[in-house]
Amino acid sequence: MIDAMLAEAESRYGLRLADGLQVVGASALAGRAFDPSWPLLVLADDPTAGPSDARDTVADRDAGEPAAGDDGSDGFRPTVLPGRGAHGASSVDVIAALYPAGHPVLGLAGAADTTVGSLDPAALAGGAHLLPALDPLANVASPHGLPWITARLRAPGGCPWDREQDHQSLRPFLIEEAYEVYDALEHGASESLAEELGDLLLQIVLHAQLGAEEGLFDLDDVYRHIGAKIVRRHPHVFGDAEARTATDVIQNWERIKAAERAERAASTAATAETDAGAASGEAAPDGSPDRPGTTAAREVPTLPAAFAGLARSLPALAYSREMQERAAALGYDWPDVEGVIEKLEEEAVELLEAQDDAHRAEEFGDLLLVLVNLGRKLGIDAESALRAGNAKFARRFALVERFAQERGRALDAMTFEELDELWDQAKAVERSAGPGAGNGRSGTEEDS
């Protein structure tokens, strides 16, 4: 039967099997990984068969915990391929999300031709259809579309600007795009967030393309490293470990990371010993020849092993929180918030008693460190809290400017007392408007 359909597709539509073909049943299509850059043959469902694996999901079962499958899986078999669930759960929904509405859906073995935009679920399930491959520039909804576009930009005859970039020149854009995602997250799930995440993804794909051009790594390696790391650090999900609370998860996570850092340190030390031997003319332990560029002096570590791997480019507030999180996971933490408050008072006094500018700057840094720790203990992210505080200050100062203008006064001609009076008036306006007014949030803010 399939042979006949393949022969028909070849004779009628010019299908070339040598160029590749994906074959999947209609009901299983939504749960399978396929790419529109390849021709897709969708087989009709067998009306006498039971539900396919794609429809036999955890959600369909009565038991609360998934049972281990005969294939060795833990029973997690979602209807829709993870990452493709936002536009619907049916096979037609998935096709509509990946292909343009006018893309042909060619009938085989008597099925009628149609288009993606006119595709009927019953027709898809009742007959065999061929979806021709998408042109790479139209394959923009696929994980493989963006890497193709990026490679084209970098190829001869591509974009002059993109061809000039390297890892170093792209660094500012990575930070910029990450912060734009951070801003979009304030409003939750939205089209704006999807767009900003795409901009950030472009930076990742660009760096992977550069790595591929240098023969060092490619996007597969990026996927492999993070996938293996997440599985390794969640033994309570993918292994035999137990973690009943979020705190248990964090403690396990830090123990695993500590073991990874120790392993990397041992590997680095062994490499340094090998390089030192090469520099002195000694043969490497494995008998390998000297490698150029491996004998340069390495930076002496200045961080404890517990903080290894922390990105120096992190904003100081985020860096401080992460550093203190790691220390807390190893047991170095105040038992309660009251202890942090007492430390905060102590640091404030030391700041007031500082004798010179250098000492004051040092004590001010200590005070900020404790404030970040206080936020951590209270479940408040210092970076987010400060950004919210900045936004609130800007909103209220805009009202101060408006009130002064209404009075025909210039701000720089007013006394502090007069400005503070306008500030109190701005606070009263915000209070009358209700909690969170003007900031796009539903939560409350401390009055200040």
Pairing of the two strands 22-25 and 104-108 = unpaired
Same domain, 75 and 165: no
Angle, CA of 330, 333 and 334, to the nearest 5°: 160
Q: Which two tokens stand for residue 436?
A: 């969170």
Q: Given its phi and psi angles, is residue 128 left (phi above 0), alpha (psi -120 to 50 degrees) or beta?
A: beta
Domain span at residue 228 reads 145-232
Residue 112 inside a domain? The answer is yes
Which residue pairs, CB below 8 angstroms and at least 24 apart, start in 249-254?
250/325, 250/329, 251/329, 253/329, 254/326, 254/329, 254/330
Domain boundary among 216, 232, 248: 232
- Tens-place pLDDT, residues 370-421: 999 999 999 998 988 998 899 999 999 999 999 999 999 999 999 999 999 9
Domain boundary among 138, 163, 197: 138
Residue 308 inside a domain? The answer is no
CA 366 – CA 363 distance, rounded (Å) = 5
CA 256 – CA 113 distance, rounded (Å) = 55
Same domain, 12 and 101: yes
Same domain, 110 and 208: no
pLDDT at 433 over 90: no
Residue 17 inside a domain? The answer is yes
pLDDT at 130 over 70: yes
Same domain, 64 and 107: yes
Highest mean pLDDT among 267-276, 338-347, 380-389, 431-440: 338-347
User: What is the pLDDT at residue 127?
Assistant: 93
Residue 184 inside a domain? The answer is yes
Predicted model pTM: 0.68
- How many domains would you assign to the chain? 3
**% residues pLDDT > 90 (the chain):** 55
Q: What value does the mean pLDDT of the chain take?
A: 84
Residue 185: give its domain's CATH number.
1.10.287.1080
Domain boundary among 106, 138, 170: 138
Residue 341 inside a domain? The answer is no
Residue 359 inside a domain? The answer is no
Q: Are 94 and 80 in contact (CB under 8 A)?
A: yes
Q: Are 136 and 148 in contact (CB under 8 A)?
A: yes
Same domain, 91 and 178: no
CA 69 – CA 355 distance, rounded (Å) = 70
Same domain, 17 and 132: yes
